[in-house]
Amino acid sequence: MNFKRIAVIAALATSSLSLAADAPELWRKHCKSCHGEDGKAKTKTGAKEKIDDMTTEAWQTKWTDEKCKKAIVDGVKDTKMKSFKEKLSEEDVDALIKHMRGFKG
């Protein structure tokens, strides 16, 4: 294996680790207040807005990665969920979606 190949593999591995490490912090900063620490939405806003529990099989099936990405980036009409396209990078959004998949019960 040549040096360039090793450097590319190391860079990719490091970037993947940083995404995984950032996801819980991103969640706490941007999502927890409404969706709860565990995705169950057992929060004041969750109850008021009737936010779905992300830990259920039904939610995990209904909300595809594409649909989740659209909701995070564009917001959700007629709800308090506003757009995060100015606050989160594409990598941040992908990390959050992966984090949300970890709530699956």
Q: What is the pTM of this model?
A: 0.78
The DSSP code sequence of 26-87 is HHHHHTHHHH-TTSS--SHHHHHHTPPPTTSHHHHHHS-HHHHHHHHHH--TTSS----TTT
| SS3 of residue 13 by DSSP | helix
Domains of the chain, by residue range, sit at 22-101
- Cβ atoms of 51 and 38 within 8 Å: the answer is no
pLDDT recorded at residue 16: 47
Architecture of domain 22-101 in CATH? Orthogonal Bundle (1.10)
Q: CA geometry: angle at 13 spanning 11 and 105, to 5°?
A: 145
- More confident of the two residues 49 and 14: 49
pLDDT at 11 over 70: no
Q: What is the pLDDT of residues 32-66, one digit of tens each?
A: 999 999 999 999 999 999 999 999 999 999 999 99
